[in-house]
Structure 1
Amino acid sequence: MAAAPRERSTFLGLLPWPERQVVTQALRTETVGGLVLLAAAVVALIWANTPWSGVYEEIRDFHFGIPALGLDLSVGHWASDGLLTIFFLVAGIELKRELVVGELRTPATAALPVVAAVCGMVVPAAVYAATVAARGGSMDGWAVPMATDIAFALAVLAVLSTHLPSALRAFLLTLAVVDDLGAILIIAIFFTSDLNFAALAGAFAGLAVFYMLQRYRVTGWWWYVPLAITIWALMYNGGIHATVAGVAMGLILRTKRDKNETASPGERTSHLMHPVSAGIAVPLFALFAAGVAVSVTSLGEVFTQPEPLGVVLGLVVGKTVGIFAGTYLTARFTRARLNPDLAWADVFALAVLAGIGFTVALLIGELAFPDPADAEHIKAAVLIGSLIAAGLAALLVKRRNGIYRRLYEEEMRDADADGIPDIYQQTSPGHNGAKTEE
């Protein structure tokens, strides 16, 4: 007798209860941080276009540090090379958790968000390349429109007061985690200065020590904090962007609990550093990176010069086409099927929303265009492209918000007030089965 066909998995269906708790906490922090990030970007833009713009530039360009250790940096560089390392540390931990216990732990569940994220990086780069090739521009900025800013995207959703279902938010979060990995690989491979192999050897030796401390269950911040700072300083002096140190340490930290642990080292570090990353590190980077002087002439140059135009089109068109096409084709040719309560219009709205490329896009823009004048045009393009993507996504999401509100209320209903939504305690075929509390 022929074997029965395997049941198709539901894409953007109800998350398992333990996974949903973790995702909800992460998204709550990202949303709050995104609102602070949004405020910091607005302050930077206003400040840079007032009579006090000179004060802004003096603060941003003020140097301090320890020159003997090669760490005499401007305030702006301390924000991008130092504070963003915390952001990438948290991103590394989130990626490790996804790989070990989350959506990316099995090839079947990982395929769809990974393919969508990869397409969402490749297509924007291709759109940029095609734009500058047609208009005779520089290919240096090909990586700028590849990055999605999850915090900014969630801030837009928070401003809209949307009731986006947890599965859609989780898909956006998973996309951003894979996107962050792609961005850090691009920074490490393509945007390195002259390499200092002695310093790099010291950094990798430090990472090896970090791994051994984790392997042998050594605890105590006094071991890890000095070691992390040393690894960061050596990575910076080695010529590789220092944020690589953050994601490397995040990937090394354990995310699975031992039997006698209430939280793994990765969970404890993420719980401690996530608010610092979302509420302090990323907003301060935005404050010193988003201060672009805006004029009618400069806005016109964004749409007439090939490099900034390529960035705008990459973010708005490339991200949308890449993520939507990657998602649709994967679902079309695999066993994944879309949640019947949602439509492909919802996936399209999410793909448009992913065109908000702010934090990492600004960072890559600074690395790709060292000349301040060129960098200003690219920053303006990132801001305009992100604004257009946010506006289009807002219109699309608002049109579907009634459906989202119904799904959200169904997910959150807890008639017996036991702290677990009733939908997780039902056994009808439309749900995920019996209550799961582990």
Structure 2
Amino acid sequence: MGLKPVPTRPLIGRGSYAEALRIGEILRKETIGGALLVFAAVIALIWANSPAAESYFALRDFKVGFEPWHLELSLGAWAADGLLAVFFFLVGLELKREIVAGDLRHVSKAIVPVAAAVGGVVVPALIYAAINWNSPETISGWAIPTATDIAFAVAVLAVIGSHLPTPLRIFLLTLAVFDDLMAITIIAIFYTSEINTTALLLTLVPMALYGFLAQKYRRFFGLNPSAAWFILLPLGFIAWALLHASGIHATVAGVALAFTIPVRHRAKDQKQSTGPGLAELFEHRFRPLSAGFAVPVFAFFSAGVAIGGFEGLASALVDPVAIGIVVALVLGKPIGIIGATWVTARFTKATLDPALRWVDLIGVSLLAGIGFTVSLLVAELSFGLGTSANDHAKVAILVASVLAALLASILLGSRNRQYRKIQERDSVDADTDGIPDVYQQEQ
């Protein structure tokens, strides 16, 4: 009797049909957000290098707010500390939905994007640190090239990859979400110099109350979850303000609060239709605010840097800070992601999904080198606003992001044309229930 072959499972699965529909919806929304982000960054660059540059920097540095709780901040700081908290709140909601109700509740499906995200963080950080090893002033920026910009990367993928397989899109979004979670963890741990213990302990009070009311929102607010806004929003702001006063970067509050939002609602009578959980409702409300306002405004205040013409650009790009960022994002990201994915395949007996090829993953890993939003934030935390190192880092982030987008567009654009021909020749039929047959097959 011969030995039975060891069963293998797809390295990157197709996912459920519901997951495919949700990913499609996210892609459509993030495409608009990505376009607004790019537009805001371009306007900031043009303004910061125009004869009216002083007015741009005056606007960015204009302070508003009040001193208690250290909330007298510049408009640029409000964008980085406040508006990005909305962005990370959405990241937290997305991650919790994936873990609780999405395909990532299965360890076998979660391990690959998690491993890829870890590789995409560790390798770029090591590359930057190696290039800046002999410079104590600049090595603190090692975390700058570790992040992937979800909105920017998804926007590029949506434009060039209309026929790319769904598993590839799911892989990129999941990778980016875990990537941002690790970035916010790095910010919380390594970019907190002094902690105000009293303020930090006080943060737990509104955060706990926020979580309790979110979990019991139907008991307190009835069947109209919109009423929860009138209570949860002020509590969330108080928690954010106290965390900001504690010395920990306030964007961490976004993820922490999001993790308290329930993904599912379970009624005592299981036969009763309970409707969507509060997480899904908040996601629908916050995604337009994040993609349409919060992230573009942050990009506007962060991307503006006086380059100083061609000579200034050349001078910035020979700085070890810029070299480390460009090499880490453009080369380090794909090396780390593909390397971690290959190791996972090598030691878990997993195989690549039949719908994909390794060249597809290389294209997506290049796309992950777009490290715009969070990279700009980490650059400011590393070097301080207005310093030459921060300005050079911004230039490098912009150059690396554009270069990564171009390389990914060339490779994935070619793959997209091939997949389009395949789909035109052998289109997937749908049953009378409207669900493609491929999603009704066992994974």
Matched, 1:51 2:47: no
Shift of 1:159: 3.7
Q: Secondary structure at the match of 1:396?
A: helix
- Gap change, CA 1:34 and 1:417, over 3 Å in 2: farther
2:256 corresponds to which residue? 248
- Residue 356 of structure 1 corresponds to 370
Cα gap change, 1:309 to 1:262, in 2 (>3 Å) = same
C-alpha deviation, 1:157, in angstroms:
2.4
In 2, the alpha carbon distance for the partners of 1:118 and 1:400 equals: 26
Q: For residues 18 and 432 of structure 1, what CA distance do their matches in structure 2 show? A: 15
Give the TM-score, by structure 2 length: 0.91
Aligned pairs, how many? 428
Are positions 1:301 and 2:315 aligned together? yes
Of residues 263-272 and 130-139 in structure 1, the stretch that sits farther from structure 2 once superposed is 130-139
- Equivalence for 2:407: 392
* Equivalent of residue 293 in structure 2, options 275, 280, 293: 280
Structure 1 residues 198 and 386, CA, compared in 2 at 3 Å: closer, same or farther?
A: same
Partner of 2:129: 129
Identical pairs, percent:
46
Partner of residue 328 from structure 1, selected from 335, 339, 342: 342
Aligned to 2:111: 111
Separation of aligned partners in 1, 2:230 and 2:139: 45
The SS at the match of 1:338 is: coil
**Partner SS, residue 258 of structure 2:** helix
Measure, in 1, the Cα distance between the counterparts of 2:319 and 2:98. Answer: 40
The structural deviation recorded for 1:222 is 1.9
What is residue 436 of structure 1 aligned with on the other side?
none
Moved more, 300-309 or 278-287: 300-309
- Give CA deviations for 1:281-316 in whole Å, capped at 9, x if unaligned: 001100111112222233223332111211111101
Match of 1:383 among 370, 378, 398: 398
After superposition, give the CA deviation of every residue in 1:216-263 in whole Å (9 maximum; x if it has no partner): 344422220110010011111111111000010111111123244211
Q: Does the Cα contact within 8 Å between 2:69 and 2:242 map onto a contact in 1?
A: no
In structure 2, give the amino acid aligned to 1:293.
A
Deviations 1:160-189 (A, max 9, x none): 364222211110000011101101101101
1:19 to 1:2, Cα distance in 2 relative to 1, 3 A? farther
Contact 1:12 1:167 in 2 (8 A): yes
**Inter-partner Cα distance in structure 2 for 1:231 and 1:196:** 14
Residues 11-62 of structure 1, C-alpha deviations (whole Å, 9 max, x = no match): 3443211121222222222222111111111111112111121221111111
176-185 or 10-19: bigger deviation: 10-19
**AA in 2 matched with 1:363:** L
Map of 1:4-19 to 2, 5 A cutoff? 7-19=7-19
Aligned to 1:192: 192
- After superposition, residues 66-145 of structure 1 pair within 5 angstroms as 66-133=66-133, 138-145=138-145
Q: Give the structure 1 partner of residue 152 of structure 2.
A: 152
Alpha-carbon spacing, 1:75–1:408, altered in 2? closer, same or farther (3 Å): farther
For residue 278 of structure 2, what is the aligned residue in structure 1?
A: 265
Query: Partners in 2 of 1:225 and 1:407 — Cα distance?
Result: 49
Match of 2:239 in 1: 231
* 8 A contact 1:137–1:307 mirrored in 2: no
Secondary structure of 1:164 counterpart: coil
Find the aligned partners of 1:252 and 1:306 in 2 and give their Cα distance.
41
Corresponding position of 1:428: none
Please give the per-residue CA displacement for 1:296-355, whole angstroms capped at 9, x wherever unaligned. Answer: 233223332111211111101110100011111111221321123422111111111100
**Separation of aligned partners in 2, 1:3 and 1:276:** 57
Letter in 1 for 2:332: G
Question: How big is each residue's C-alpha offset from its partner over 1:395-426, in whole Å with a ceiling of 9 and x where there is no partner?
Answer: 1112212233246669985666754335445x
After superposition, the C-alpha distances for 1:92-121 in whole angstroms (9 at most, x for unaligned) are: 011111111223312221111111000100
With over 3 angstroms needed to count, the CA separation of the structure-2 counterparts of 1:114 and 1:47, relative to structure 1, is same
Amino acid at match of 1:230: I
TM-score, scaled relative to structure 1: 0.92
Alpha-carbon contact 2:317-2:395 (below 8 Å) kept: no
CA contact (8 A) 1:286 1:359 kept: yes
Structure 2 residue 419 is the aligned partner of structure 1 residue 404: yes
Inter-partner Cα distance in structure 2 for 1:17 and 1:339 = 16
Question: How many Å apart are 1:193 and its aligned residue?
Answer: 3.8
Mean CA deviation greater in 346-355 or 219-228? 219-228
Give, in whole Å, the separation in 2 of the partners of 1:411 and 1:166.
16
Distance change in 2, residues 1:412/1:176 (3 Å):
farther
Give the distance between the partners of 1:64 and 1:314, measured in 2 at CA: 36
Q: Which amino acid aligns with 1:129?
A: A
2:351 is matched with which residue?
337
- Aligned residue for 1:169? 169
In structure 2, C-alpha distance between the alignment counterparts of 1:36 and 1:22, rounded to whole Å: 22
Q: Quick one: which amino acid aligns to residue 390 of structure 2?
A: A
2:13–2:109: 8 Å Cα contact kept in structure 1? no
Deviations 1:346-405 (A, max 9, x none): 111111110000000000000000151221111111111111111111111122122332
Matched AA of 2:312:
S
Distance (whole Å) between structure 2 residues aligned to residue 79 and residue 135 of structure 1: 30
Residue equivalent to 1:317: 331
Question: How far off its partner does 1:136 sit?
Answer: 7.5
C-alpha distance in structure 2 between counterparts of 1:82 and 1:238, whole Å: 15
Q: Distance in 2 between matches of 1:418 and 1:290?
A: 48
Separation of aligned partners in 1, 2:234 and 2:2:
61
The CA RMSD measured in Å over matched residues stands at: 2.3
CA distance in 1 between partners of 2:3 and 2:258 (Å): 43
1:215 is displaced (CA, Å) by 3.6
Alpha-carbon distance between aligned partners in 1 of 2:79 and 2:428, rounded to the nearest angstrom: 43
- Do the aligned partners of 2:326 and 2:397 also contact (CA within 8 Å) in 1? yes
**Paired residues of 1:298 and 1:377 also in contact (CA < 8 A):** no
Instruction: Name the CA distance, whole Å, in 2 between partners of 1:18 and 1:120.
Output: 28
Query: How far apart, CA to CA, are the structure 1 residues paired with 2:422 and 2:166?
Result: 9
Matched-pair contact (CA < 8 Å) for 2:121–2:336: yes
Letter in 1 for 2:415: R
Moved more, 240-249 or 44-53: 44-53
